[in-house]
Amino acid sequence: PPVERHPIKTFVSTWNDALIREACQREINRGGQVYFLHNEVETIENMAQKLEALVPEARVEVAHGQMREKELERVMRDFYHRRFNLLVCTTIVESGIDVPSANTIVIHRADKLGLAQLHQLRGRVGRSHHRAYAYLITPPPKSMTADAKKRLEAIESLEDLGAGFTLATHDLEIRGAGELLGEEQSGQIHEIGFTLYMDLLERAVEALKSGKTPELDRPLDHGAEIDLGLP
């Protein structure tokens, strides 16, 4: 990470008007900007109005993937140039956006998002030398799934810089690794490598489709093949 970057302080909480108002006001008062992530296009305008009432000093705009391209571009350009300070958005901001002055993100219904998504979204803030904050807003614990609770515990406990690998390991534990290249499913793949195995399988399938018998004892004996990668 860059030399001056700080870890992002992460909090998990149920919806609380006072907490959200305080988080937004603190960022605005220090001259920064806020992402408020609400991942439902149908209700995003209502949420923007609610935030305008909750934080009267904020200038609020909305961004989501169903907007016209030029309108979306205008909103993001205005946000980058600090013409407003609270962006209510969907997960469209997950990748490729670097706004150094935006250092607080509030993620509404964080229990609905995957671990990698939460890590990416949290990484939208803290991209300069300022201390950044991430608030993960959830419903009451009783209405969340067990996996959602594990994801939130993992993202809250790992806020150090370079935590991505550890989070990926947690993600593997929560979702399970499957058996893509294990012996039970894929036979002798590990003997010859995945690419060659797929190549042999494709040849056998093509032979069967054209009514021929695959030459299983001499699968590679077809003379020399020269591929220069040129027309």
Domain boundary among the residues 127, 150, 175 is at: 175
Contact 103, 130 (CB under 8 A): yes
Q: Is 24 helix (H, G, I), strand (E, B) or coil?
A: helix
Confidence of residue 222 (pLDDT cuts 50, 70, 90): low
| 185: containing domain | 180-214
Average pLDDT over residues 148-153: 90
Give the Cβ contact number of residue 62 at 10 Å: 20
Judgement on whether residues 141 and 39 belong to the same structural domain of the protein: yes
Handedness of CA 139, 141, 145, 151 (dihedral sign): positive
Judgement on whether residues 101 and 25 belong to the same structural domain of the protein: yes
Average pLDDT over residues 137-145: 92
Tell which wins on pLDDT, 71 or 185.
71
3 belongs to a structural domain: no
In the prediction, which pLDDT does 212 show?
86
The mean predicted confidence, pLDDT, of the chain is: 86
In the prediction, which pLDDT does 166 show?
72
48 belongs to a structural domain: yes
> For residues 11 and 106, what is the distance between their CA atoms, to the nearest angstrom?
10
Contact 62, 89 (CB under 8 A): yes
Judgement on whether residues 17 and 128 belong to the same structural domain of the protein: yes
pLDDT tens digits along 114-126: 888 898 898 889 8
Confidence of residue 194 (pLDDT cuts 50, 70, 90): confident
Confidence of residue 46 (pLDDT cuts 50, 70, 90): very high
Using the predicted structure, report yes or no on whether residue 172 has a pLDDT greater than 50: yes
Using the predicted structure, report yes or no on whether residue 12 has a pLDDT greater than 80: yes
Q: Which residue has the tokens 């030029």?
A: 70
In the prediction, which pLDDT does 185 show?
46
224 belongs to a structural domain: no
43 belongs to a structural domain: yes
In the prediction, which pLDDT does 18 show?
95
Backbone angles phi, psi at 145, to 5 degrees: -75, 165
Most confidently predicted of 119-133, 151-165, 174-188: 119-133
Most confidently predicted of 75-84, 126-135, 163-172: 75-84
Judgement on whether residues 88 and 148 belong to the same structural domain of the protein: yes
Structural domain count of the chain: 2
Single-letter residue type at 23? A
Burial of residue 13, with CB atoms counted within 10 A of its CB: 0-12 exposed, 13-18 middle, 19 or more buried: middle
1 belongs to a structural domain: no
- Of the candidates 108, 86, 90, which has an alpha carbon nearest to the alpha carbon of residue 99? 86
Q: Which residue has the tokens 């807003």?
A: 137
Contacts of 181 (CB under 8 A, 6+ apart): 189, 190, 194
* Cα angle, residue 67 at apex, residues 35 and 96 outer, rounded to 5°: 50
119 belongs to a structural domain: yes
Single-letter residue type at 29? N
Confidence of residue 190 (pLDDT cuts 50, 70, 90): low
In the prediction, which pLDDT does 183 show?
53
Residue 180 vs residues 63, 183, 194, 211: alpha-carbon distances, Å: 38, 9, 11, 30
Query: pTM of the full predicted structure?
Result: 0.71
Confidence of residue 228 (pLDDT cuts 50, 70, 90): confident
Tell which wins on pLDDT, 101 or 224.
101
Q: Which residue has the tokens 């020399």?
A: 224
> For residues 215 and 229, what is the distance between their CA atoms, to the nearest angstrom?
28
Single-letter residue type at 38? H
Judgement on whether residues 110 and 148 belong to the same structural domain of the protein: yes
Backbone angles phi, psi at 166, to 5 degrees: -65, -40
In the prediction, which pLDDT does 103 show?
94
Judgement on whether residues 54 and 156 belong to the same structural domain of the protein: yes
In the prediction, which pLDDT does 68 show?
94
230 belongs to a structural domain: no
Handedness of CA 178, 180, 184, 185 (dihedral sign): positive
Judgement on whether residues 41 and 140 belong to the same structural domain of the protein: yes
